[in-house]
Amino acid sequence: MSKNITVCFSASGVTKRAAQLIADTLNTELIEITPKTAYTKEDLNWRDKNSRSTLEMSDKSSRPEITNEKVDLSGVDTVFLGFPVWWYIAPTIVNTFLEANDLSGKRIVLFATSGGSDFGKTVQFLKNSVASDTVISEGRVFSGRFEDNDVVEFARQYI
């Protein structure tokens, strides 16, 4: 039997809610990618060209610091990885997590929350942060006002 884990980055709590539903449905541990410096509402203002999130996403090499850099993924086969979509990709803090951990030979199933974007070039961008034998697949993007049942149905595909 394969072992799964759910990992998420959530700046405002929406993605964490989806991640918790997935973790509960699949009976996995939930690990939250925690920024060393929490994001404020001002940091997340995508209309402000000088906001923290805008500056991070403008520099694709940006790797915001996280508090829980190393996670024991030994024995894990599939990582359900969730995040809000920022500028048609995952926030660069997700790359920080991926680059700090060994995901060789693992499968990553993405899920995301968004106000209207799809995954865009997320897989392409994240592939640069994992080993070549790591398989990343698009799972599903949920709107910010998702129904719990939609997330549970998505997760049940993997039982």
List all residues 6 or more positions away from 121 whose beta carbon is below 8 Å from its beta carbon: 88, 89
Instruction: Return the pLDDT at 1.
Output: 53
pLDDT of residue 24: 98
Strand order through the sheet with 29-32: 29-32, 4-8, 78-84, 107-114, 135-143
Residue 142 contacts residue 112 (beta carbons within 8 Å): yes
Which residues, including other chains, have CB under 8 Å from residue 145's CB and lie 6 or more apart?
A: none
End-to-end CA distance of the chain: 11
Q: Minimal CA–CA distance to 7: which of 99, 16, 143?
A: 16
The CATH class, in words, for 4-156 is: alpha beta
**What is the residue-level pLDDT of the chain in tens, covering all 159 positions?**
579 999 999 999 999 999 999 999 999 999 999 999 999 999 999 899 999 999 999 999 999 999 998 999 999 999 999 999 999 999 999 999 999 999 999 999 999 999 999 999 999 999 999 999 999 999 999 998 999 999 999 999 998
pLDDT of residue 159: 86
Return the H-helix or E-strand segment holding 135. Answer: strand 135-143
Other C-beta atoms closer than 10 Å to the C-beta of 16 total 17
Burial of 72 (0-12, 13-18, 19+ CB in 10 A): exposed
Domain limits of the chain?
4-156
